[in-house]
Chains A and B, each alone.
Chain A
């Protein structure tokens, strides 16, 4: 086998210019794919991080039907305290749950004593919310980095429109689930940066303030946001939660809870899917580049070495070994392309990181893209190149192995 590799490498170095050109083509393809995968993958990961770690969480649990009516934030569909306890119990049992945050979401009126406008608010336990959303505090542009009782974090656009600043007093008025209206005076505790996506422009208050406005005796939460220890376990955790709640039925025999991953809740998921589709097609292009270039080179190699093939066959080389010779030659070419492409791709990604690529996402400006290539992607791209190289060599190699030695020896 080692001798076959030695002969293959020598044959490749024999047509040095052609080998370098073909290998360069493969290297270029690999570099392009790796950089694309790294940039888009990092962009995707960063955006998912922004969406899930700023306001959405990885998974959300609601009472059944809540998500379909989420635009009206129906208080009547909130989870009762008994249901909340069931959810909390289930969350404690399932491994891989890092944190969770119950929220009361409601709509109300926001007044600065001069003007009044609509507002959507989340009543949260500050510590639980911060544990569930690690980027939450970074969204507070002005004011203290905490949600105190009696204070409200006002979304920046609302603060700008209503001309309120940290320390100002405002009034929040809301209707509870029974239809009675109540109001409460708040101090503006901070201005909150907007985030792209549903819920990204909501204000925040302490959950006990929310209960007071809505005249709740016991906590009735609209949703429970969940953070996982390992994001890659998203679907596994989702399935486990669904299984845990599958037996929780109401009196009509219908499920009490519904569990959704961020994918179902954020429109950014479609952009993420589009990035995946684009990546797939870019990989397909790489396959085409490798397939065509290797096949072309190997067909040329067989055509140019017909007499050599005839000689090898004449002196007793078995067809299988002649086939192996050419397949190994294709393999070596693909391997060289994959290795140099990976090294060069890594270097380009490193350079991109040194210079730093900044971009905007919605109202978030100047995000710095930290590109990195997943080792799995690196291995997968290399394996694709090598497998395609071998497959591309098969047809010319098979032709060589089946060559009639008499005809081959006569070839000029």
Chain B
């Protein structure tokens, strides 16, 4: 059964009197435990699509099911609750809370979103800190660690609630090549260990090669789907 099923979804934005079609009738299925990338030039609709999949926004038209839930019908509170249970996020700018330590940043969703008991929380946070190799930095604040380390913390934070899906919008855009590969490797490793589906957007061809399935977006339309093997093996859809 598909983890994500998009049927003919469109998204329009209103910029003053002009209506902008960010997505035009996009349909796709994503299976559980996939490692999927959406590629395309700037303005192609990647972020818009990830926002829809991540329940941060709603499609103007079409039907979108995530983890067997029609997310296009959820209200603000239901969406927040759904995200807290099923989806993790990794951001381009890491978006860690500057007032919380590395440990507290990872712990945050367990306190504020899942209200987990202390012992269980500690066990899970420590296990993820070790998995991302940040256990020796746990008491540092985001301002005291490097960009690559921040993104590893962000990966741990995204995974700490055991979500079925992690969405990463340009997760390597602010990282150097070596660190970018490290983060992608980490995401893959976590996918293998936790069976979590990772969906990320990028326009960096070096990173695209790491994805198992690549969707290409152009002008809001899904033009290609490539199975494992890289962007050059694009299959028309």
Contact = CB atoms under 8 A, between A and B. Distances in A.
Contacts of A405: 56
Nearest to B85: A316
B91 A321 contact: no
A177 to B, nearest CB: 84
A315 B99 contact: no
A89 interface: no
A317 B95 contact: no
A406 B51 contact: yes
Contact of B100 (A10, A315, A316, A402): A10
B99 A7 contact: yes
Interface stretch (A203-211, A305-313, A365-373): A305-313
Given A3-B111, A405-B56, A319 B80 contact: yes
A317 B84 contact: yes
B81 to A, nearest CB: 7
A398 to B, nearest CB: 13
Interface string A1-14: 00100010011011
A314 interface: yes
Interface string B105-118: 00011011100000
Given A314-B83, A318-B77, A406-B51, A14 B57 contact: no
A397 to B, nearest CB: 15
B111 A314 contact: no
A315 B97 contact: no
Nearest to A12: B99
Contacts of B56: 314, 405-406, 409
Interface residues of B, number: 30
B54 interface: yes
A410 to B, nearest CB: 9
B113 A315 contact: yes
A304 to B, nearest CB: 11
B215 interface: no
Contacts of A311: 89, 91, 95, 97
B112 A317 contact: yes
B60 interface: no
Q: Name the residue in A316, A406, A409 with the highest tally of chain B Cβ atoms < 10 Å from its Cβ.
A: A316
A78 B70 CA distance: 91
Given A308-B95, A406-B57, A318 B83 contact: no
B229 interface: no
Contact of A316 (B57, B81, B95, B98): B81
A402 B95 CA distance: 19
B98 to A, nearest CB: 7
Interface in A13-57: 13-14
Contact of B99 (A14, A313, A321): A14
A307 B57 contact: no
Contacts of A315: 83-84, 88-89, 108-109, 113, 157-158
B76 interface: yes
A316 B83 contact: yes
Contacts of B87: 316
Given A315-B88, A316-B81, A405-B56, A321 B98 contact: no
Given A3-B112, A311-B91, A318 B99 contact: no
A1 to B, nearest CB: 10
B95 A7 contact: no
B153 to A, nearest CB: 13
Nearest to B82: A316
A22 B148 CA distance: 37
B113 A10 contact: no
Contacts of A3: 111-112
A316 B109 contact: yes
A351 B99 CA distance: 40
Contacts of B80: 313, 316-319
Interface string B156-185: 011001000000000000000000000000
Contact of B112 (A11, A314, A321, A402): A321
7 interchain residue pairs of minimum CB distance: A316-B84, A10-B99, A311-B95, A316-B113, A316-B83, A405-B56, A406-B57
Given A308-B97, A316-B83, A318-B81, 11 more contacts: A10-B99, A10-B100, A14-B99, A307-B93, A311-B95, A313-B80, A315-B83, A315-B108, A315-B157, A318-B113, A409-B56
8 contacts: A7-B100, A315-B83, A315-B88, A315-B157, A316-B82, A316-B85, A318-B84, A409-B95
Interface of B: 51, 54, 56-57, 76-77, 80-85, 87-89, 91, 93, 95, 97-100, 108-109, 111-113, 157-158, 161
